[in-house]
Structure 1
Amino acid sequence: MVRTALILLGSVFLIGCGDPFSDLDLIGDVEGGGPASLGFIGTQNREVDVEVTADQVVPYGRIARNCTVSRRDMGKSVTDASGYTIYDTAPNSTGLRTHFITGFRDGCARQFSGALVITGDVGTHEMVRYADVGLKQPYTITDEAYEVIKGSFCRVARLQPCGRRIDRLAKTTAFVTVYESFGNNANWSDVLLHRGEVVAKDVNGR
């Protein structure tokens, strides 16, 4: 349900042809996500404790830190959300390819692979998640992380909307949904960004 709303209301960006990864080295040991990521809210996040360079490929579903890539090599800026900018290295492709996100506290980009990237705001997330249908859906790692952030920042109970402080929260907080392929049956991963950190990530699929 949340994923559907982000598709309809988020910013959708499609990209090019061919295999842009064919001549690059695949990084196989980039840290994955997990429930433990909730413990790193407000601290250095283990989701991105592996560093890569622009000539390396981060496997789908993982995120790495890249402190050496230049803005020119990140590709085209395709969206800005809550202080973060997403770059696409092949904006005319629909295949799996490298993307970058900037706007983090340490000044380094975050690198990941995806075929389709959608950004979602916290208002949309709450509208869908707290609806009757949304409340019946299992909570993911990113859902739980948002509840922690929202509870602390907005001073409200679990499963309650942020209320009057949501516009302030939205200035530093955003969801990013990344699809492995372009199509209705694609696997997807959700990433929660907050105050210049990747605070949570989960991988889903059909």
Structure 2
Amino acid sequence: MKSLTAGFAGTALCLALAGCAQDPLRDVERLSEVPLGEEGTAAAAIPAEDERGEAPLLLSRIFSGTLDAGNDFAPATESGPVAFGEARPVCGLDAAQLGTAVAQQSGYVLHDPTPGETGLHRQYVTGFADGCPREVMAALGVFGDVGTHEVIRYGDGATDGWSPADTAYEELKARVCRVNSGQPCGGRIDRLARETAFLTLYAAFGDTGQHAELLLHDGTVLAGGVSP
């Protein structure tokens, strides 16, 4: 996983430094909540198609920590700074509070209130269905597209140590692209990419090894967590 993460992060970081500048998936409905598993991994359970070839429901969201009713990937507590690797809905912020838009991908935008800060600090992601930004903690945030993710994930030596975001993507891809785990999406990748993105959050600048990954899809944080 280390080689995969380093490759993906390096590719995404190069794209971001080079210039960080929706037709919804009609057949994928909103996620519904299920009890948390003991392992605390984050994944979306993808149902089989019904007899009409349509998805009756994109069923479950399983996240580490406590799932906050009515929200997507939320931390166990609403007080104090959000934990690294988690995302918390915060509503009612104005443009000045959000700060500078520093990166964007597939309709999601990362805002940094203190872009000169090089340590771990509060940042915000916009582009969600409920209109509320998600608060995250990071020294640096870098978006990655699904095409880049697949190139790195399915390359040589990239089969071990799947993260919660990796697992959730495989299940989402199976439903939207109708392919098996470990296979590229194929001809439907543009459809999937319209509202799906990875966000890698770094705890510090430089090759520290500590980072988190969030999978954003259909106006929600579908999965996330700190990667090894």
Superposition TM-score, scaled by structure 1 size: 0.80
Q: CA deviation at 1:169?
A: 0.8
| Aligned residue pair count | 182
Match status 1:47 vs 2:68? no
2:72 and 2:220 in contact (8 A); partners too = no
Match status 1:166 vs 2:189? yes
Map Cα deviations across residues 155-192 of structure 1 (whole Å, 9 max, x no partner).
11111100011111111100001011122124111000
Map Cα deviations across residues 78-114 of structure 1 (whole Å, 9 max, x no partner).
1110010110111112111111001001110000110
In structure 1, the partner of 2:11 is 9
Map Cα deviations across residues 31-65 of structure 1 (whole Å, 9 max, x no partner).
xx932553318x95552277859xx5223222110
In structure 2, C-alpha distance between the alignment counterparts of 1:82 and 1:101, rounded to whole Å:
12
In structure 1, C-alpha distance between the alignment counterparts of 2:91 and 2:105, rounded to whole Å:
21
In structure 2, C-alpha distance between the alignment counterparts of 1:61 and 1:7, rounded to whole Å:
15
Amino acid corresponding to residue 73 of structure 1 in structure 2: Q
In structure 1, the partner of 2:141 is 117
Match status 1:100 vs 2:102? no
Report 1:154-193 matches (<5 A): 154-193=177-216
1:37 and 1:45 in contact (8 A); partners too = no
What are structure 2's unaligned runs of at least 5 residues?
A: 18-38, 45-59, 63-68
In structure 1, the partner of 2:157 is 133
- 1:98 aligned counterpart, secondary structure: strand
In structure 1, C-alpha distance between the alignment counterparts of 2:185 and 2:156, rounded to whole Å:
17
What are structure 1's unaligned runs of at least 5 residues?
A: 14-32
In structure 1, C-alpha distance between the alignment counterparts of 2:72 and 2:219, rounded to whole Å:
14
In structure 1, the partner of 2:106 is 82
Amino acid corresponding to residue 139 of structure 1 in structure 2: W
- Determine what percentage of the aligned residue pairs are the same residue: 37
Amino acid corresponding to residue 192 of structure 2 in structure 1: L
Q: CA deviation at 1:7?
A: 2.7
1:34 and 1:141 in contact (8 A); partners too = no
Q: CA deviation at 1:4?
A: 1.9
1:6 and 1:119 in contact (8 A); partners too = no
**Cα–Cα, structure 1 residues 12 and 36, in superposed 2: closer, same or farther, change >3 Å?**
closer
Match status 1:60 vs 2:84? yes
Amino acid corresponding to residue 123 of structure 2 in structure 1: H
Amino acid corresponding to residue 8 of structure 2 in structure 1: L
2:138 and 2:203 in contact (8 A); partners too = yes
Amino acid corresponding to residue 63 of structure 1 in structure 2: A
- 1:133 aligned counterpart, secondary structure: coil
In structure 2, C-alpha distance between the alignment counterparts of 1:89 and 1:186, rounded to whole Å:
25
In structure 2, the partner of 1:19 is none
In structure 1, C-alpha distance between the alignment counterparts of 2:151 and 2:70, rounded to whole Å:
30
2:120 and 2:139 in contact (8 A); partners too = yes
In structure 2, C-alpha distance between the alignment counterparts of 1:167 and 1:51, rounded to whole Å:
37
In structure 2, C-alpha distance between the alignment counterparts of 1:128 and 1:7, rounded to whole Å:
10
In structure 2, C-alpha distance between the alignment counterparts of 1:80 and 1:36, rounded to whole Å:
23
